[in-house]
Amino acid sequence: MDREVTQMRKPKQSLVVVGNGMAGMRTVEELLKLDRDLYDITVFGAEPHGNYNRIMLSPLLAGDKQVDDIMLHTRAWYADHGITLHAGDPAVKIDRKRRFVHSKKGLEVPYDRLLLATGSSPFIIPIPGHALPGVVGFRDLADVATMLAAAIPAAQAVVIGGGLLGLEAANALQRRGMQVTVVHATASLMNQQLDPPAAALLKAALEDKGLHFRMATQTTHILGSKRVDGVQFADGTILKAELVVMAAGVRPNIALAQSAGLHCERAIVVDDTLQTYDPRIYAVGECVQHRSSTFGLVAPLWDQARVCAGHLAGAGHRRYVQKATPTKLKVTGVDLYSVGDFIGGTGTEELILRDRRSGIYKRLVIAGNRVTGAVLYGDVRDGPWYFDLIEQRTDIGSLRHGLLFGEAYCAQGAAA
Amino acid sequence: MKTVRTTCPYCGVGCGVKATLQGDSKVAIAGDEAHAASRGLLCVKGAALGETVSLEGRLLAPAMVENGVLVDSSWDAALGRVATTFMNIIKEHGPDAVAFYVSGQLLTEDYYIANKLMKGYIGSANIDTNSRLCMSSSVAGHKRAFGEDIVPGCYEDFEVADLVVLVGSNTAWCHPTLFQRILRARTQRPGMKIVVIDPRRTASCELADVHLPIKPGTDVWLFNGLLHYLVREGALDADFVNTHTSGREAALAASLDCADPLFVAEACNVEPQQLLAFYRLFSDTEKVVTAYSQGVNQSSSGTDKVNSIINCHLATNRIGRPGMGPFSLTGQPNAMGGREVGGLANMLAAHMDLDNPVHRDTVQAFWDAPRIASKPGLKAVDLFQAIEAGTVKAVWIIATNPVVSLPDADQVKRALAKCELVVVSDIVLGTDTNAYADVLLPALGWGEKDGTVTNSERCISRQRAFLPAPGAARADWDVLCDVGRRMGFDGFAFDTPAAIFDEHARLSTWRNGGDTRRVFSLAGLDGLTPQDYDQLAPVQWPLGAPRLFGDGVFAHADGKARFIPTVPRLPVHTVDDAYPLALNTGRVRDQWHTMTRTGKSPRLASHVQEPFIDLHPQDALLHGVRAGDLARVSSKWGQMVARVQHGGGMARGAVFIPIHWSGQTASDARVGAVVNPAVDPVSGEPEFKHTPVRIEPFGVRWHGFILSRRVLKLDSVASWTRIQGTQFYRYELAGRNAIDDASAWSRALLGIEDAAADWIDVEDKGSRTYRAAHLVDGVMDACIFIAPTADLPARAWLASLFEAGVLSTPQRMGLLAGRSPEPVADVGPTVCSCFGVGRNTICAAIEQHGLTDVAGVTACVKAGGNCGSCVPEIRQLLAAPASV
């Protein structure tokens, strides 16, 4: 009887996932929640591991976490769920006509549906010396290993890029005992997330922790013969460095998609269902471009995974809608929170709280009686509340005077 | 810790105070049970005396203006300049070209020397006093009726009376301990009645049996009508009137129209039934005390008002007998002492008269003086007009602040600005008057000075020193004597106040008999040894005579009292279309005069915090002003700005503004500038209680407040008021100019120059809201809150942070929210200053425990249990907690 029933079932379709990272595997998880038997799933990953939490690389680098702590899906998990994992064997070609994926090691796997989750790569600024050993991005476990190998106490490190990732790397290396200088192209750190006053507080706090900064500085050369031993700046000055971390942004990994003839712009273009221009192929994560935006934070990835999984499961009513995404910095003792349109402009108003001695700064951008952005530094407890106000488009007319003092204050006022 | 028995320096009740200087240089204050005037009671002002003796803001060294700049000076140089300039002016322009303007807060000994110097040695009578503004109409009324300035009764009369009529006197607030005595007496004898005659429904009315809200200025109609009623109803004591008085017929004839109660009721704008009920009560009650104060005195017909009251007591022979008599409640601690030494421009000395050659001779002979003034000098208002006109070229102002307190006070500014030499003796450096001084002389304050004062019931008691003289400050008598000697005069070789008092006492008995008999006599108090003087217990003059005139013998030469014909007349300046409201001025419960002393007490500041304009809600509506908003009140003479309120006690057409605020405590709240300078033709007392004014909104762009540990210069702010807090000053602000860079503007205003200062701020440009705080080492230093409306956080919690030391993180976080992160109960505005009990606390207790009387409230939350001045307010809360 069992045998007959099995034979009666439609053969399973094949889902191939290219990219064993957070976006891809989250989509698989969401899919399994909806229908665990719909697909035979095969996963190709460039890295020789299971899936780990990339966001936790800086705590790992800093020594706050171990590799095991940050694993999301171990190899056993794949086995338990009947998923074929080819870790360390990246996909190299997509044959869209025959619907096959070819791997570097020569595997050919047919697909009914293909999910591209190829992620992004650190942007290595193409200046002289950029290929020298000791120049690394900050993207994966291998980068962490490289950095840790160089992280001899008192050795010099230069981090190029004072954004979120660069500062986390710099802080982690500094905690490993290195002398770290952050080189930033503009006058204001984390200029994608912070306004200048908050950035100034951040810089002061990081300087207190022992980090050094070269602001508004361009790096022109990476020096060294066999291995990096310094960097040179546009003004000609030279800084000694045994390690150079490039944290000047990322580039979506789209080469595979492009070679398959999928429509790409800055990244793989997807619609609101995360479908590419090929109806059998979906894409999620940092490799996609949705309504002109690309993505670097984890929250939109989760949303994308949920929507995409729904469509892969044939329950295709979900639509991906971009939302404001809060940013936090994972540096111990530095609390910052940024969300939405934190700069403002014509037609916006701003509410500002400054307490320099306590290292607190809050700035809310208001448009049409609604919060549209928030930058919090030092006291971020109310970040989620502001985020909620932004998302719900709450009319803050009655809250306005208490807004900066937080949700508890406003609730108390309402109760009084 | 030695306890010193002394006398309160505020109102004319003259309560006994026990002051104990404690180890931490704080002064503990208690009522003196042994003092007959108060029997241990103190009002909240008296109880807070300990908070007013700090040296903050004191004038501690002589100073002179040299080349336009005020610089410290030596006594020698300062007094040399005073003496020389006075002498030069006298030499060139005669003695009437100089003047003294002194105060009812001088001690008798100071007053005596000032009077002696001016009248006997300089040879002019140009010495007048702020008592002119206070009770000169009573003086004139007494002299007209009795032949001498005598208060016939004593405080005990209030307790044995069956009817106490309070006329133009908010006794509950202005003479609180006496009011408590009246209330206690009524508690023991519930049949006793209290009638309040006042255009305003004051706190005194809350405890009265009858409130007769007469139209301002119509007291003479009322009492003329009463006189006719008494005659008609047969209440006249014909024997007494025929034997001991004269002028009855003339008095009745002069007021014939007032014989018709309906006419009087209409003139006074009261219900005829209510009027007749009062007349009947007065007529049927033998033991009546009619006590009156500034509502009677401060009027262009003040003297007639006094006499119309005295007429009624003369008609019924209710004078000088227990529980009976007219009673002038004096406003100042030593107005009476000033009257005794003759320190007014129309008196000579020791109740002797300038226009009486025998008296002049008597005084000159006693003093062995080179000269004697022979004609009345200039009374206060005339004096400052003469200064502006240039006929008086030098003035020495002692212990008073005429730029704030005189009517048409801007005229006083003009006068002082023109005056060749302005000398000011004061205890405070920063006053509106001192700004015009050429020479500033530091005086001794209460607790430092030593001498005697006389209260409203002729009781002389000692003000004793228990604090050292601060800085270079000297007693006024000492400085006056020094100047007298420098001017080459004998007769000023005094070393002690005891010696001066002795001379004063001896003058009172000198040739006191026959043609020169005076009731005023300190017989028995002359020849005191320094020890006797030092230990002098409170004593009424004449010794052994708590009441006078009970024998029907008055001070006129024929021994008879006089009925005075009093023809009613309206205030000099009546309301018209341009100035449709009648301004009335007065005191509030917890402040005194221009706040130079009471203003230092946080406790006292918490009762009424800001200057205000009280009027009827209908009038506010009519003139477009709103309660809580600022408004400008202007008259033909000047203008001022304060916050509108509806205290509930105002009749239509009337406006009340308190007198206390000066240029030091508010930007523009000197009501004196608005008050008309009309005076009573007999007494020269100004008509403070009736000035036609108009009111209009004072539009502002923003509202705000500052709490700061320092006094600030806020000239750039359109409207501000300073309120003393505990370890901080609070400023209520309102501005007319736009603020561009709120942060920079606020730092400049608060004087925070250090860019690295611990400065916390919150800015919402869109809603024009700004809040900032400055901390020093984590301790509150200042904060500022600005908003487009007056809807700002409560000040109480922020104020408490000034005593909180280093702020906790929640306190710091809550600072700019203006609210404690933990909810704390809002106690509401202070009702009971003694125990610091707020209105909400009282209302909650009333509700929670179902309280129905004041005693219950006191038992529950203490309020009302000390000085009792808040009892009327508690009663209001008991009556209608929600509506207050």
Asked if pLDDT for residue B869 goes beyond 80, the answer is no
Q: Is B493 on the interface with A (CB under 8 A)?
A: no
Chain B partners of A379 at a C-beta cutoff of 8 Å? 813
Residue B580's alpha-carbon distances to B213, B300, B495, B652, B692, in angstroms, are 19, 19, 56, 11, 6
Taking the C-alpha atoms of residue B150 and residue B320, their distance in angstroms, rounded to an integer, is 11
**What is residue B873's predicted lDDT score, i.e. its pLDDT?**
85
Instruction: Supply the pLDDT for residue A8.
Output: 54
Q: Report the percentage of chain A scoring pLDDT > 70.
A: 97
Q: Which of A352, A356, A412 sits opposite B763 (nearest CB)?
A: A352
Q: What percent of chain A has pLDDT over 90?
A: 74
CA distance B459 to B478: 24
Distances (CA, A) of A286 to A276, A301, A340, B171, B479: 14, 8, 19, 83, 91
Distance CA A396, CA B767 (A): 13
B197-238 residue pLDDT tens: 999 999 999 989 999 999 999 999 999 999 999 999 999 999
pLDDT at A9 over 80: no
For residue B771, the chain A residue with the least C-alpha distance is: A353
- Report which DSSP code applies to A334: B
Identity of residue B238 = A
Contact B170, B291 (CB under 8 A): no
Of B326, B309, B396, B292, the residue nearest B78 (C-alpha): B396
Residue of B384, B379, B382 whose CA lies nearest to B411? B384
Question: pLDDT by residue (tens digit) across A10-65?
Answer: 689 999 999 999 999 999 999 999 999 999 999 999 999 999 999 889 889 999 88
Calpha distance A123→A127 (Å, rounded): 12
> Is A400 within 8 Å of B763 when comparing Cβ atoms?
no
Contact predicate B178/B329, CB 8 Å: yes
CA-closest candidate to residue B107, choices B377, B546, B453, B575: B453
Residue B368 backbone class (left: φ over 0; alpha: ψ -120 to 50; beta: rest): left
| Cβ contacts of B821 on chain A, cutoff 8 Å | 408-409, 412
Q: What is the 3-state secondary structure (H, E, C) of A54-108?
A: HHHHHHHHHCCCCHHHHEEECHHHHHHCCCEEEECCCEEEEECCCCEEEECCCCE
CA-to-CA dists, residue B641 to A153, B629, B657, B699, angstroms: 71, 10, 10, 11
Q: Are B617 and B645 in contact (CB under 8 A)?
A: no
- Which chain B residue shows the shortest CA-CA distance from A355? B760
Chain B contact for A349, CB < 8 A? Answer: yes
d(CA B640, CA B636): 12
Question: A409–B819: do the CB atoms touch at under 8 Å?
Answer: yes
pLDDT of residue A344: 80
pLDDT of residue A234: 95
How many residue pairs bridge chain A and chain B with CB atoms within 8 Å of each other?
63
**Which chain B residue has the Cα nearest residue A362?**
B762
Residue of B747, B752, B762, B769 best to disrupt the A interface, most CBs of A under 10 A: B762
Question: Does residue A204 sit at the B interface (CB-CB below 8 Å)?
Answer: no
A 361-400 near B (Cβ less than 8 A): 366, 379, 400
Alpha carbons B379 and B382: distance in angstroms, whole number: 5
Q: Minimal Cα–Cα distance from A401 to chain B, Å?
A: 8
User: Which pLDDT does position A1 carry in this prediction?
Assistant: 43
Q: B271 at the A interface (CB within 8 A)?
A: no
Average confidence score pLDDT of chain B = 94
Torsion from C-alpha of B577, B579, B585, B589, nearest 10 degrees: 80
Of all residues in chain A, the one with the smallest CA distance to B821 is: A409
Is residue B874's pLDDT more than 80?
yes
pLDDT tens column, B760-792? 999 999 889 999 999 999 999 999 999 998 889
A352 contacts B764? CB cut-off 8 A: yes
Task: Name residues whose C-beta falls within 8 Å of residue B450's C-beta, 6 or more positions apart in sequence.
Answer: B107, B462, B463, B464, B465, B475, B497
To test the contact with chain A by mutation, choose from B774, B813, B826, B840 the residue with the greatest count of A C-beta atoms within 10 A, namely: B813
Which of B761, B764, B770 has the highest number of chain A CBs within 10 A, making it the mutation to test binding with A? B764
The percent of residues above 90 in pLDDT, for chain B, comes to 87
| Separation between Cα atoms, residue B476 and residue B481, nearest integer Å | 8
B85-91 average pLDDT score: 98
**pLDDT higher than 90, residue B401:** yes
- Chain A contact for B808, CB < 8 A? no
Cα distance from B761 to chain A (closest Cα, Å)? Answer: 5
Q: How far apart are CA B230 and CA B255, in angstroms?
A: 14
Beta bridge mates, B100: B127, B396
Cis peptide, bond prior to residue B829, ω within 30 of zero: no
d(CA A257, CA A249): 21
| Tens digit of each residue's pLDDT (9 = 90 or more) over A220-231 | 999 999 999 999
Please check whether residue A249 touches B, CB under 8 A.
Answer: no
* Segments in B106-204 forming alpha helices (H): 108-116, 136-146, 156-160, 171-174, 176-188
Q: Looking at residue A412, what is its pLDDT? A: 73
The string of DSSP codes covering A354-389 is EETTTTEEEEEEEETTEEEEEEEES--TTHHHHHHH
Distance from CA of A196 to the nearest CA of B (A): 16
* Parallel, antiparallel or unpaired: strands B69-72 and B63-66: antiparallel
Mean pLDDT value of segment A324-334: 78
Q: What is the pLDDT of residue B837?
A: 82
Exposed / middle / buried, residue A297 (Cβ in 10 Å: 0-12, 13-18, 19+): middle
- A351, A356, A409 ranked by CB distance to B817: nearest: A409
Whether the CB-CB separation of B223 and B305 falls below 8 Å is answered with yes
CA distance B407 to B397: 16
- B819 and chain A in contact, CB less than 8 A: yes
Whether residue A355 and residue B819 make contact (CB cut-off 8 A), yes or no, is no
Angle, CA B660 vertex, CA B655 and CA B663 arms, to 5°: 105
Closest residue on chain B to A359 (Cα): B760
β-bridge partners, B730? B707, B723
pLDDT at residue A416 above 70? no
**Any chain A CB within 8 A of the CB of B813?**
yes
Longest C-alpha distance within chain A, in Å? 81
Percent of chain B with pLDDT over 70: 98
Provide the b/e sequence for B742-764 (b: ≥16 CB within 10 Å): beebbbebbebeeeeebbbbbbb
Chain B positions touching A401 (Cβ under 8 A) are: 764, 767, 769
Q: What is the pLDDT of residues B533-542, one digit of tens each?
A: 999 999 999 9
Q: How far apart are CA B29 and CA B523, in angstroms?
A: 33
pLDDT, tens only, B475-511: 999 999 999 999 999 999 999 999 999 999 999 999 9
pLDDT at A2: 47
The verdict on B785 touching A (C-beta cutoff 8 Å) is no
CA angle B68, B73, B75 (to 5 degrees): 135
Of B761, B766, B769, the CB nearest to A366: B766
CA distance B431 to B428: 7
What would the two tokens of residue B585 be? 């001025």
Residue A134, both tokens = 């000791």
Residues B882 and B884: their CA atoms lie apart, in Å, by 6
- What pLDDT score was predicted for residue B725? 92
Tokens 């005037």 identify what position? B37
Three-state secondary structure along B353-368?
Answer: CCCCHHHHHHHHHHHC
Q: Is the pLDDT of residue A131 over 60?
A: yes
Shortest CA gap A62–chain B (Å): 30
Nearest to B765 among A349, A400, A412 (CB): A349
Query: Which of B762, B819, B821 is nearest residue A404 as measured by Cβ atoms?
Result: B762
Minimum distance, in Å, between the CA of residue A39 and any CA atom of chain B: 55
Give the span between the Cα atoms of B746 and A240, in whole angstroms: 47
Read off the pLDDT band of A409 (50, 70, 90).
confident
